[in-house]
Amino acid sequence: MKRLGLLYLAAQNLRRKPFRSFVTIAIVALAAGTLFSATLLIGSVDRSLEVGMERLGADLLVVPEGYQESGQAALITGAPTSFYMDGSILDQVKAVPGVAQASPQLFIESMVSSQCCTGHVQLVGYDPSSDFVVTPWLKDNLQRTLGKDEVVIGSLILANKGEKVHFYGHDFDVAGVLDATGMGVDESVFMSLDTAYLMAQESAQVAESALDVKPGQISSVLVKMADDTNVDQLTQRIKTNVPGTTVITANELSRSVTDRISGFKRGFIAVDAIVWIMSLLTIAAIFSMIVNERQREIGLLRAMGASRHFIFRLMLTEAIFLTAAGGIAGIFVGGAALFIFKAIITSSLGIPYLWPPILTFVKLMAVTMLLAIVSGAVASLYPALSSSRLEPYAAIRQGE
Amino acid sequence: MQLSGRANEAMSNDSIIVLKDISKTYKVGPSTVKAVEKVALEIPRGQMVSIVGHSGSGKTTLLSLMGGLTKPSDGRVIIDDINIWTLSDKEMSVLRNEKIGFSFQFASLFPTLNAIDNVRLPATFGDKKETDHDRAIELLNLVGLEDRIYSYPGQLSGGEQRRVALARTLMNKPRLILADEPTGDLDEDTEADILDIFQKINSEGVTIVIVTHSRAVASQAQRMLRMHRGLLSEEEE
């Protein structure tokens, strides 16, 4: 035997006008879904920046003049790029006061051709003796340096540890897979500088297309600052002391991403505020309508012994049912939409992306649900109060 | 005999309901309408009383005043020795739930609840939830709808809906039933069935006040009152 109670009656009342209930749920779902997916997107970008910058470990990146944008794109989204400068730049950078550590990297863009390469990715040659990006990871995870024909790969490269990848006529063993960062590292393949030079040198004989990389050339210098150094002053000193180069700071990288999503953030805040206000007004209007339509029933319930408090709670419960359902639908649809369109969004905005930890995900779901439920309660407060204050006789007569 | 304006100050312990000079006025635009005017009435326990009168004479308003569904502009309503308008909303709700059964002019069933759940509804607000299912079945048997227990209002005829509503009125074993046109719009057979049920429960000591247009229905009562322009008078035999 089912128990007749507040929750059952509220659910039954909502069944009565399924289309109206559906519309209310859809409006709340739109508001909750927009909030959930946009907050998730922004949070994921922030997390990716945090993890990615930590992995990069550098305060500054010195690249050839004119390659600031492609350097940033390679770091943020992993867009493959190739640019070179003379290896002597490394010593010039090291000589600048305030530079604590400097390590060169060589960028080689792989070819789309499957005969040449395992995917169109960024190949990065690093110097094992000075590197602070891959070497610490190797130390922790492999307890050794990379061999001549070995690489470590980013989390988005389609290969597993122990498998082989193929670039410019060379087969490489995958020694390890780096943790996801959401940034360019995920789509990069790391090998030692010597291996990279050898691959370039032999490409003329073994690859379908020869690489134009001369021994000693580098693409960038990663710099760690000394503790008491000001980033702006060091940037200026490098620009002055090392002509033909430009400097990308870690802050600039973050700012570049922040700038790209700032328009999106502003748009999202405006759209979501409008949708929430719309949904609040709609719920208030719908519940005022419900109270008017059900005056007689409210009067009857009061005649049967329902207290004002019961009527108030009944109306509030109906509103909360609808908004909670809207919240769940919004989270589901918003999350699914972000999952499906993530690649399009990140590539069109040029932003990094890393799903948040499960706890953050759960917290965000809880906050969205709470907001949806509180909105329902607030929007239906006045109609619920009005209904509870109806005099039973007047309610029954007005409903006739 | 005209009762309006004559307050029965002494209250008998045998009276279930006493109205002391109650009036009800409404504001309609700039003018004031006196729906009930200084009515004094005492109804002994177990009595069946009918109230007749023309439309707009104040019968339904009087019935609502008796049941605490509307507050009098003046005077007191005493049920079981309790001046009901001194009660809190919660206490008043308990009183309505436990002591009074209302039967309205319309079937008043909840469309999303089946017959048995409609009957069980008053128990939701009281403390007899454990036995409500058996009691509801017993009442649906009483009104002859034992085979329509799980039917929804939309699947029932007008007469059947009124019988379900009557079963709901009796759900919490009220000691006072206030019925407003309980047989209005019903065919003769259904009307006779419902009156039989009223007679049966009245014979068990339940007080019944019926507001009706029908002379035939009114004549079933032991006492007949007439309402005219807000004034109540005793109808001569």
**Structure tokens of A195?**
């291996």
Identify whether the C-beta of residue A192 lies closer than 8 Å to the C-beta of residue A175. no
> Does the beta carbon of A297 lie under 8 angstroms from any beta carbon of chain B?
yes
Q: In what order do the strands lie in the sheet with B100-103?
A: B100-103, B176-180, B207-212, B48-52, B223-228, B231-234
Say yes or no for a CB contact (<8 Å) between A307 and B93: yes
Say yes or no for a CB contact (<8 Å) between A393 and B64: yes
Burial degree of A1 (CB within 10 A; 0-12, 13-18, 19+): exposed
Question: Which residues in chain A touch residue B185, judged by CB atoms under 8 angstroms apart?
Answer: none
Residue positions counted in chain A: 400
Question: Which residues in chain B touch residue A387, judged by CB atoms under 8 angstroms apart?
Answer: none
Tell me how close the Cα of A178 comes to any Cα of chain B, in angstroms.
59
Say yes or no for a CB contact (<8 Å) between B97 and A296: no
Say yes or no for a CB contact (<8 Å) between A309 and B89: yes
Tell me how close the Cα of A303 comes to any Cα of chain B, in angstroms.
6
| Per-residue confidence (pLDDT) for residue B113, from 0 to 100 | 92
End-to-end CA distance of chain A: 33
Q: What are the CB-based long-range contacts (under 8 Å, 24+) for A128-132?
A: A128/A192, A128/A193, A130/A101, A130/A102, A130/A103, A130/A104, A131/A103, A132/A57, A132/A58, A132/A101, A132/A103, A132/A222, A132/A224
Tell me how close the Cα of B237 comes to any Cα of chain A, in angstroms.
32
State which residue of chain A sits closest to B117, comparing Cα positions: A4
Ordered mean pLDDT values, 10 residues apiece, chain A (400 residues): 82 87 91 90 84 79 90 81 92 94 92 70 91 87 88 89 89 91 86 93 84 90 90 92 91 78 83 87 88 89 94 93 94 92 80 84 94 91 90 80
E-state strands within chain A: 60-64, 99-109, 122-126, 150-153, 164-167, 170-177, 188-192, 220-225, 245-249
Q: What is the pairing mode between strands A188-192 and A122-126?
A: parallel
Tell which A residues from 71 to 90 touch B, by Cβ distance under 8 Å. Answer: none
State which residue of chain A sits closest to B126, comparing Cα positions: A305
Identify whether the C-beta of residue B70 lies closer than 8 Å to the C-beta of residue B40. no
Q: For an interface test with B, which of A4, A17, A298 has the most B Cβ atoms less than 10 Å from its Cβ?
A: A4
Q: What is the pairing mode between strands A150-153 and A188-192?
A: antiparallel
Identify whether the C-beta of residue B237 lies closer than 8 Å to the C-beta of residue B5. no
Interface of B with A (CB under 8 A): 61, 64, 67, 69-71, 89-90, 93-94, 96-98, 102, 104, 106, 108, 110-113, 117, 120-126, 129, 132-133, 168, 172
Buried b / exposed e along A57-92 (16+ C-beta atoms within 10 A):
bbbbbbbbeebbebbbbbbbbbbbbbbbbebebbeb
What 3-state class would DSSP assign to A332?
helix
| Per-residue confidence (pLDDT) for residue A185, from 0 to 100 | 83
Among the listed residues B4, B1, B2, the one whose alpha carbon sits nearest the alpha carbon of residue B19 = B4
Among the listed residues A96, A67, A92, the one whose alpha carbon sits nearest the alpha carbon of residue A79 = A67
> Does the beta carbon of A302 lie under 8 angstroms from any beta carbon of chain B?
yes
Q: What is the DSSP string of B155-195?
A: GS-HHHHHHHHHHHHTTT--SEEEEESTTTT--HHHHHHHH
Residue positions counted in chain B: 237
Q: What torsion do the CA atoms of B78, B164, A294, A396 make, to the nearest 10 degrees?
A: -30
| Per-residue confidence (pLDDT) for residue A350, from 0 to 100 | 72
> Does the beta carbon of A5 lie under 8 angstroms from any beta carbon of chain B?
yes
Please give the ipTM for the structure prediction: 0.90
**What are the percentages of helix, strand and coil residues in chain A, rounded to 5?**
60, 15, 25
**Structure tokens of A329?**
């639908």
Q: How many beta-carbon pairs below 8 A join chains A and B?
A: 78
Give the closest of B69, B89, B126 to A303, CB-based. B69
- Greatest distance between any 2 Cα atoms in chain B: 54
Say yes or no for a CB contact (<8 Å) between A305 and B111: no
Question: Which residues in chain B touch residue A7, judged by CB atoms under 8 angstroms apart?
Answer: none
Burial degree of B25 (CB within 10 A; 0-12, 13-18, 19+): middle
Q: Which residues of chain B have pLDDT under 50?
A: 1-12
What is the crossing angle of helices A250-293 and A295-304, to 10°? 70
Identify whether the C-beta of residue A352 lies closer than 8 Å to the C-beta of residue A346. yes
**Structure tokens of A377?**
């309660």
What 3-state class would DSSP assign to A352?
coil
| Per-residue confidence (pLDDT) for residue B13, from 0 to 100 | 60
